[in-house]
């Protein structure tokens, strides 16, 4: 199958994803009409988190490798921008290339060391590497340590990012490219083997393939996608600190995927939308219902997550599919 | 979206203010949810109290305060800052507990031509090379407080001191500030894990070193842990404890008499004897049932500074307010505050001791003044 | 470093280690026997600490507070299993992660609403705040010795329970083959609930012992959860013996790393560089240790046979 037919096929299969991407493309029109430009900020955060979650979903959902340290790749991607700028290197495209290379290399090393283990052991060893990187950056005083470093919007020749809307569409374009790339990967022979490994590793081995090669390749690609998200994140936030590498951020990425629907194309993005909108609106809701407890909104947030597990198998994508199925 | 607004509009509209007065809008950012929520709650209380004291106005104009919860995440803070500036179109963004969050919002807020006033965080880049004409601090630069302790211990004739702080930027700033005015021997400089809960291993080493004095910076929960364990290990017999940002009115309710006698430096204390502070502390205790912490006092001062700036500027015009603040003479719970060229306060640093008040509640009491009108060292690197 | 100081540091490491073991012991069984990823185990530590501190304040007696708090932690585990956890056994690990993450948020917020966001006051009774000379002229806090003693006693008790009793045999069997155990007529549902409640109770005891030493505040259990997961992984999932050895190992490595690394580094690099690198390396120590163990032995030091 050619790449284009895969894409056509992929878009047809993933109407939900196409719909969300189109929604993000049109969103600035809405926020413009409503004269609420800051909504774009929320949308950019959602797209960036969604992009990182999509990267993680390749290994977690399709490959069955539960990595609990992917925030480290987002962080490294962001720090590549900050550190390049620190040494006076200011081209945004080059920053992205450096982030991709650094995360690819790091993914290769961590993947190689970690993929000997499986299951919960794999979860914990990936966490261990992420923690080491976190503590490393906390202690690097040159790059601001815990206080982080300020970043100027890089030079994305020929795009001048002075207008936040251009940054918005840069991020959106990144998200579209990642989505298309993942569609191609998942439908390719590589993707099929990766999913087969999740199902039954020894059967793949019996076919004369080396599962480890496929797993490491998947891990590296996933790390690079997170690196891209990190590099764009740095441009959006104009600042980077070790906070984005904290283990709770890795957890957040996992939660977003599970919430949206593991191993589905649209899941991570829907999860990011739901997660951040809940974070945004629950305090509001609490403020209306019980103003004294507005800052205790997590008392609702927690049980909502539990409810999704109990009553929406397959996450929100599963829920949507069931609703759609019932209607037709 | 996240509008926890005080409805001060109605009250202000009834009073005979300037005929066409614009509403002064303040966006107040702090951490309300999560484990640091206690600090944000105190700041929110203090801001509300300040608005009560000004009759819901700022500088005689009707006013509105919008509280936002940064969740202690830089990306959330940045998004909220953009919202306050672009959507709510506030005249001032104020608050911010953490250095890293302030660093994250500094650029978008100051660039937009909105004033940014910190109620707590004061990292050195913002006092020096990255300073901005639209940024003011109503707290202190990180180094000021430990510098006071360094000078105090130097003057007390202490020959050898053992230093301990968490391994992060503020920890290193504090130790550097201390050493700027202390010239005696540093027996050891120990950096602990950020968020460490058990210090017994460090205390054992300290006991063996038998230093004359120990200087510690362990903010928040770490401070509670440290002081408890210091006390339980009988360290009082081994060394004298001096602290900054470790024993305060946030940690004292969890420490009670465990911390009595511990010496610290600070730019404020609940027993400061001026009219504004007496009113603030008395009303805060009456309304919220406990002493305010320095976070609360600084939040209150921030609102008083805005009140002062709007009054002098005759409205919420950024340029006029900036000039009013930069001119100093800002009435606060710390008395009248002068502003340095980098727009950080020039203020006294006091020596405080943890004591029991008349009701048997643990608090801090000023026992002396180390520095009068103390300025930070980074101002020389700042030019607008 | 003198011998006395080294001994004292070993005691400190031991005390940290047994605390970790109390948290890890239940968790390793929950992970091993029930194959259940339970992230909210840190909340059990917090519940234990809050129960003990508030009951001590209420009754005015430290021991009475502890005595009343123990059944509360057991009951909280029992109830939690009954109300929620049992519905999640058949779900995949990821569902369990999401649900128990939600539980963490819920419990932290519940405590915050119930007890306020500030740290709770908790201290030692005079009878426990003294010192014991572990060597001539080497005073060591009595309470910390007591923590070590309680931890070791619990470890011995769990060991005897698991290896010598009929119930222990069932637990071990359950760790290896669930359906076989059920076929032998063991009520697996009751067994699970009891193991879960016992695990919660042990974690609660750890929290009670941490209470007087550290700040009793919402979220106090989370850093300990990550560390106890490290312990379980190094020890081998489902192995109580492995968890014990790994906990002591982590306790001593972490303590020694914090104390010795800066000193060692200072001997061959500049003071400033050592002050930066030492604590950073010390923070990474346990993770470096875990990844080394896993690179060499991918299923931990003592994986249960089966």
Q: What is the pLDDT of residues B172-200, one digit of tens each?
A: 889 999 999 999 999 989 999 888 889 99
Enter the DSSP assignment of A147: G
Sequential DSSP letters for B154-203: HHTT--EEEEEEESSHHHHHHHHHHHHH--SEEEEEEEEPTT----HHHH
pLDDT band at A292 (very low <50, low <70, confident <90, very high): confident
Given this model, what pLDDT does residue B15 score?
Answer: 42
What residues of chain A lie within 8 A of the CB of B34, using their CB? 298
% of residues, chain A, pLDDT over 90: 62
Which 3-state string (H, E, C) describes C29-90? Answer: HHHHHCCCCCCCHHHHHHHHHHHHHHHHHHHCCHHHHHHHHHHHHHHHHHHHHHHCHHHCCC
Q: Is B361 on the interface with C (CB under 8 A)?
A: no
Cα atoms in the 13 Å half-sphere on the side-chain side of A125: 26
The residue of A43, A295, A296 whose CB has the most chain B CBs within 10 angstroms, and thus the best one to mutate to test that interface, is: A295
Q: What Cα–Cα distance (Å) separates residue B129 from each residue in A127, B120, B132, B168?
A: 37, 19, 9, 20
10-residue block means of pLDDT along chain C (306 residues)? 85 95 92 87 95 94 95 96 92 89 93 90 86 82 94 93 81 66 73 92 95 90 91 92 95 92 84 80 90 90 75
Cβ(C87)–Cβ(C105) under 8 Å? no
Question: CB of B88 within 8 A of CB of A251?
Answer: no
Q: What residue ranges define each of the domains in chain B, with the CATH number in brackets?
A: 4-140+272-339 (3.40.50.2300), 144-266+349-380 (3.40.50.2300)
Give the β-pairing of B135-137 and B115-118: parallel
CB contact under 8 A, C298 and A116: yes
Q: Is A239 helix (H, G, I), strand (E, B) or coil?
A: strand
Chain B contact set for A288 (CB, 8 A): none
Residues of chain C numbered 90-129 and touching chain B (CB < 8 Å): 108, 112, 116-124, 129
Each residue of C251-294: pLDDT tens digit?
999 999 988 888 888 888 877 778 778 888 888 999 999 999 99
Contact between B168 and A146 using a beta-carbon 8 Å cutoff = yes
Q: Where are the domains of chain A?
A: 3-246
| DSSP one-letter code for A156 | B
Helix (H, G, I), strand (E, B) or coil at A197: helix
Per-residue pLDDT, B168: 84
- Fold exhibited by the domain A3-246: ABC transporter involved in vitamin B12 uptake, BtuC (1.10.3470)
Angle between helices A164-187 and A211-237 (to 10 degrees): 170
What residue has token string 């929960």?
B221
Compute the average pLDDT of residues B353-370: 94
Q: What does chain C look like in DSSP terms, one character per residue?
A: --HHHHHHHHHHHHHHHHHHHHHHHHHHHHHHHS----TTHHHHHHHHHHHHHHHHHHHS-HHHHHHHHHHHHHHHHHHHHHHTGGGTTTS-HHHHHHHHHHHHHHHHHHHHHHH-SSPBP----GGGS-EEEEETTEEEEHHHHHHHHHHHHHHHHHHHHHHHSHHHHHHHHHHH-HHHHHHTT--HHHHHHHHHHHHHHHHHHHHHHHTTTS-B-TTTTHHHHHHHHHHHHHH-TT-HHHHHHHHHHHHHHHHHHHHHHHHHHHTTS-HHHHHHHHHHHHHHHHHHHHHHHHHH-TT-SSPPP-
Residues 237-256 of C with CB under 8 A from A: 237
Place of tokens 């900020």: A41
Which residue of chain B is at minimal alpha-carbon distance from C262? B190
Please state, in angstroms and rounded to a whole number, the distance separating the CA atoms of residues C259 and C210: 21
Which pTM does this prediction carry?
Answer: 0.90
Angle between the A15-33 and A39-57 helix axes, to the nearest 10 degrees?
160
Q: How far is C76 from chain B (nearest CA, A)?
A: 22
**How far is the alpha carbon of B59 from chain A, nearest alpha carbon, in Å?**
28
ipTM exceeds 0.95, yes or no: no
Residues B281-310, mean pLDDT to the nearest whole number: 96
Q: B103 to chain A: which residues are within 8 Å by CB?
A: 144, 147-150, 239, 241
Judge contact between C8 and C134, C-beta under 8 A: yes
């Amino acid at each position: 199958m050619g790449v284009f037919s895969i894409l056509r096929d992929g878009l047809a299969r993933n109407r939900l994803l196409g719909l969300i991407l189109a929604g993000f493309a049109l969103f600035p029109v809405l926020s413009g009409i409503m004269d609420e430009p800051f909504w774009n900020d929320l949308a950019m955060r959602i797209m960036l988190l969604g992009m990182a979650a999509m990267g993680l979903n390749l290994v977690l959902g399709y490959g069955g490798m539960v990595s609990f340290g992917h925030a480290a790749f987002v962080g490294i991607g962001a720090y590549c921008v900050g550190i390049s700028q620190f040494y006076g290197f200011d081209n945004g495209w080059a920053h992205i290339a450096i982030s991709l290379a650094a995360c690819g290399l790091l993914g290769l090393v961590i993947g190689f060391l970690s993929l000997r283990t499986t299951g919960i052991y794999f979860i914990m060893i990936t966490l261990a590497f992420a923690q080491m990187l976190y503590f490393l950056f906390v202690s690097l005083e040159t790059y601001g340590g815990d206080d982080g470093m300020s970043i100027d919007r890089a030079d994305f020749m020929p795009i001048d990012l002075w207008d936040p809307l251009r940054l918005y569409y840069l991020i959106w374009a990144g998200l579209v490219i990642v989505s298309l790339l993942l569609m191609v990967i998942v439908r390719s022979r590589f993707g099929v083997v990766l999913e087969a490994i999740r199902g039954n590793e020894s059967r793949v081995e019996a076919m004369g393939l080396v599962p480890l090669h496929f797993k490491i390749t998947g891990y590296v690609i996933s790390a690079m996608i997170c690196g891209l998200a990190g590099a764009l994140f740095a441009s959006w936030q104009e600042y980077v600190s070790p906070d984005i590498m904290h283990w709770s951020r890795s957890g957040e990425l996992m939660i977003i995927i599970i919430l949206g629907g593991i191993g589905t194309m649209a899941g991570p993005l829907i999860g990011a939308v739901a997660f951040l909108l809940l974070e945004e609106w629950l305090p509001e809701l609490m403020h209306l219902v019980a103003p004294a407890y507005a800052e205790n909104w997590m008392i609702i947030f927690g049980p909502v997550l539990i409810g999704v597990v109990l009553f929406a198998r397959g996450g929100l994508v599963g829920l949507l599919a069931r609703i759609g199925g019932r209607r037709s | 979206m996240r509008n926890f607004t005080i409805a001060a509009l109605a009250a202000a509209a009834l009073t005979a203010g300037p005929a066409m007065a614009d509403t002064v809008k303040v966006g107040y950012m702090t951490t309300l949810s999560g484990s640091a929520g206690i600090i944000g709650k105190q700041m929110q209380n203090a801001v509300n109290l300040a608005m009560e004291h000004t009759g819901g106005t700022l500088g005689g104009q009707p006013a509105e305060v919008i509280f936002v919860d940064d969740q202690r995440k830089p990306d959330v803070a940045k998004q909220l800052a953009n919202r306050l500036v672009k959507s709510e179109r506030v005249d001032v963004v104020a608050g911010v507990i953490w250095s890293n969050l302030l660093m994250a919002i500094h650029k978008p807020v100051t660039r937009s031509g909105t004033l940014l006033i910190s109620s707590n965080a004061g990292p050195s880049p913002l006092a020096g090379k990255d300073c901005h004409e639209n940024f003011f601090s109503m707290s202190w630069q990180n180094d000021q407080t430990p510098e006071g302790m360094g000078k105090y211990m130097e003057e007390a004739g202490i020959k050898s001191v053992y230093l301990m702080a968490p391994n992060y930027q503020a920890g290193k700033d504090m130790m550097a500030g201390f050493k700027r005015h202390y010239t005696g021997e540093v027996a050891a400089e120990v950096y602990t894990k950020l968020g460490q809960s058990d210090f017994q291993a460090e205390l054992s080493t300290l006991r063996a070193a038998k230093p004359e004095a120990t200087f510690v910076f362990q903010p928040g929960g770490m401070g509670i842990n440290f002081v408890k364990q210091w006390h339980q290990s009988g360290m009082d017999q081994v060394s004298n404890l001096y602290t900054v940002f470790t024993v305060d009115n946030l940690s004292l309710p969890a420490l009670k008499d465990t911390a009595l006698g511990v010496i610290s430096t600070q730019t404020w204390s609940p027993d400061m004897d001026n009219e504004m502070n007496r009113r603030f502390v008395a009303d805060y205790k009456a309304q919220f049932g406990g002493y305010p912490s320095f976070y609360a006092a600084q939040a209150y001062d921030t609102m008083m500074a805005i009140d002062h700036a709007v009054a002098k500027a005759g409205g919420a015009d950024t340029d006029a307010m900036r000039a009013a603040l930069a001119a100093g003479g800002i009435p606060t719970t710390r008395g009248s505050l002068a502003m340095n060229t980098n727009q950080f306060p020039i203020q006294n640093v006091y020596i405080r001791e943890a004591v029991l008040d008349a009701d048997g509640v643990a608090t801090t009491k000023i026992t002396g003044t180390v520095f009068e009108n103390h300025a930070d060292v980074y101002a020389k690197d700042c030019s607008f | 470093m003198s011998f006395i100081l080294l001994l004292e540091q070993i005691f400190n490491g031991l005390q940290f280690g047994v605390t970790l073991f109390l948290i890890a012991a239940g968790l390793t069984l929950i992970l091993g026997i029930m194959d259940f990823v339970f992230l909210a185990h840190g909340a059990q530590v917090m519940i234990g600490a809050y129960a003990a501190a508030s009951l001590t304040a209420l009754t005015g007696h430290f021991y009475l507070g502890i005595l009343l708090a123990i059944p509360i932690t057991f009951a909280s585990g029992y109830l939690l299993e009954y109300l929620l956890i049992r519905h999640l056994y058949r779900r995949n690990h990821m569902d369990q992660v999401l649900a128990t993450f939600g539980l963490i948020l819920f419990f932290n917020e519940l405590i915050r609403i119930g007890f306020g966001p500030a740290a709770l006051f908790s201290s030692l009774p005079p009878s426990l705040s003294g010192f014991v000379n572990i060597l001539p002229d080497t005073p060591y806090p009595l309470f910390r010795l007591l923590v070590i003693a309680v931890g070791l006693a619990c470890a011995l008790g769990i060991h005897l329970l698991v290896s010598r009793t009929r119930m222990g045999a069932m637990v071990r069997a359950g760790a290896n083959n669930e359906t076989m155990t059920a076929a032998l007529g063991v009520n697996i549902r009751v067994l699970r609930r009891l193991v879960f409640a016992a695990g919660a109770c042990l974690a609660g005891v750890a929290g009670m012992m941490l209470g007087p030493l550290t700040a009793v505040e919402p979220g106090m259990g989370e850093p300990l959860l990550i560390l106890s997961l490290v312990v379980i992984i190094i020890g081998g999932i489902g192995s109580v013996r492995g968890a014990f050895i790994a906990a002591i190992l982590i306790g001593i490595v972490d303590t020694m790393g914090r104390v010795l690394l800066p000193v060692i580094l200072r001997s061959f690099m500049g003071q400033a560089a050592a002050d930066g690198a030492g604590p950073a390396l010390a923070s990474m120590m346990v993770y470096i240790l875990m990844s080394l163990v896993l690179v060499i032995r991918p299923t931990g030091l003592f994986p249960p046979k089966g």
